Amino acid sequence: DFDFRLTLDVSDYRKERDLKIEQIALQKADDARILGESVELPPMKPYDRRVVHMTLQKFDDLKTESFGEGRDRYVKITPIDEETLGLISEDTDQKSEEEE
């Protein structure tokens, strides 16, 4: 008994879809920053949600989380304000000092 997954990418479909998901994620991230509040994306398949998380993980001023169940699972993009960023940084610094 073997469990494996086969992905067939015809005419760069997966690559093009990933780029489209990345563009949507970046646009929604900008919306979250401008509005100063969380923005929810429509329900997505697990792979597409992963693309969103991976695309936005490089931004320190944003947090992404998945919510919902089954087919209704979606990503929420939340801007992190500078004050919160400072608290996170201080907490990280304190943990580093405690570990030394």
**pLDDT tens by residue, 3-25:** 887 777 788 888 999 999 999 99
> How many Cβ atoms from other residues are within 10 Å of residue 9's Cβ?
10
Do the Cβ atoms of 77 and 29 come closer than 8 Å? yes
What is the per-residue DSSP string for 64-81?
Answer: EEEESSGGG-EEEEEE--
Alpha-carbon distances, residue 47 vs 18, 24, 32, 38 (angstroms): 9, 15, 22, 21
pTM: 0.74
Backbone angles phi, psi at 7, to 5 degrees: -115, 125
Do the Cβ atoms of 62 and 56 come closer than 8 Å? yes
Quick one: fold of 13-99?
Answer: Ribosomal Protein S8; Chain: A, domain 1 (3.30.1370)
**26-55 pLDDT per residue, tens:** 999 999 999 999 999 999 999 999 999 999
